[in-house]
Amino acid sequence: MANENSRKYQKIYETQRAVIERKFAQMLKGKEPKSLYKPCDFIIRSGGKRLRSFLVLLSTKAVGGKYSDAYNAALSVELLHNFTLVHDDIMDNADKRRGLPTLHIKYDLSTAILTGDTLFGLAYHYLLLDCKNNDKEVLSNFTESIIEVCEGQSMDEEFELRKKISIDEYKTMISKKTAALAEMCCAIGAQIGGGKRSEINALKKYGKNLGMAFQIQDDLLDVIGEEDKFGKKVGGDLIEGKKTFIFLKALEKAKGEDKKRLKKVIENKGIRKNQVRKYQELYEKLGVFKDTGKEVEKYSRNALNAIKNVKDDEARETLIWLTHALIKRNT
């Protein structure tokens, strides 16, 4: 029964995702200048799970709207997401994304910057197509989330240089860098669907908590398990010396020698690959796998609680399914 339902929601997701893919395949066809729209086309059609689009669509459905009311808004949030990826990849010096060369590698720095800027503009263009009476609210939510993402990205870069980061500061950073966008997707979806204030707020709360759970889980998954046959990289965050939730939690709990070893990760700006195992053992000893798992659970519970009263059965159940699909139990 659970499995059958699971297939049902998976199908809803795949159907909507296919709609988005089709629209992206058509979006920039034949547009001039090619020097600009070819790289834009390359990035928007290079894959991705289209989860942000799906959050928009489900939120529209959740308040009684139709998926088709919000297709342009769904494209818009993906355009925005891709804009952040293109610019982030430059900042992070990344040369691969989704198995393909990043834009500044495939083309050049100027093209990548300009492509990002254009996606940013196109994001507003598509959002405006789905705005009816409440455009100001929709656009304000959209705009504030962008500013938050920029603030979060800046904090993230700043944290790399700072030695002391509190868990609260870390949470503020990810709430801006990651959760703000998920929150906004739910907000604008609900607004475009004509939701009431209380419905919009509930869905916003869902998006924000889902985003938090997702990011903290991401930190956790990075350091779980062993290097496997397929070359899954384990402990990448430790190797790069990133101050993630699980790391900061360990630092908070550790004493004596253990604390010294963790502080070394910061001082040396990371560890060697062959040291990952030892730090996994330390995390185990300090119990931070469990702590982090509980944190993830707390946020996903908050997310699920927020949508309890969603009236549309399909949207509510699909959101619940999505939450479980994204946030797997690790503890």
Instruction: Return phi, psi of residue 308, to 5°.
Output: -50, -40
- Give the alpha-carbon dihedral of 116, 117, 121, 122, to 10 degrees: -30
Binder among 136, 197, 255, 272 for a copy of itself (CB under 8 A):
136
CA distance 51 to 28: 21
| Shorter beta-carbon distance to a copy of itself: residue 28 or 213 | 28
CA distance 43 to 48: 10
Binder among 94, 150, 282, 325 for a copy of itself (CB under 8 A):
150
Q: How far is the CB of 10 from a copy of itself (least distance, A)?
A: 35
| Shorter beta-carbon distance to a copy of itself: residue 56 or 131 | 131
The CA radius of gyration of the chain, in Å to the nearest whole number, is 21
Q: How far is the CB of 225 from a copy of itself (least distance, A)?
A: 31
Q: How far is the CB of 65 from a copy of itself (least distance, A)?
A: 19
| Shorter beta-carbon distance to a copy of itself: residue 135 or 314 | 135
Q: Which stretch binds a copy of itself (CB under 8 A): 8-16, 111-119, 219-227, 320-328?
A: 111-119
- Other beta carbons less than 10 A from residue 30's beta carbon: 7
Instruction: Name the nearest CA neighbour of 118 among 90, 88, 83.
Output: 83
| Residues forming beta bridges with residue 101, ordered by sequence position | 96
Residues 249-308 close enough to bind a copy of itself by CB under 8 A:
none
Does 234 engage in binding with a copy of itself (CB under 8 A)? no
Length of the chain: 331
| Shorter beta-carbon distance to a copy of itself: residue 36 or 224 | 36
Q: How far is the CB of 122 from a copy of itself (least distance, A)?
A: 7
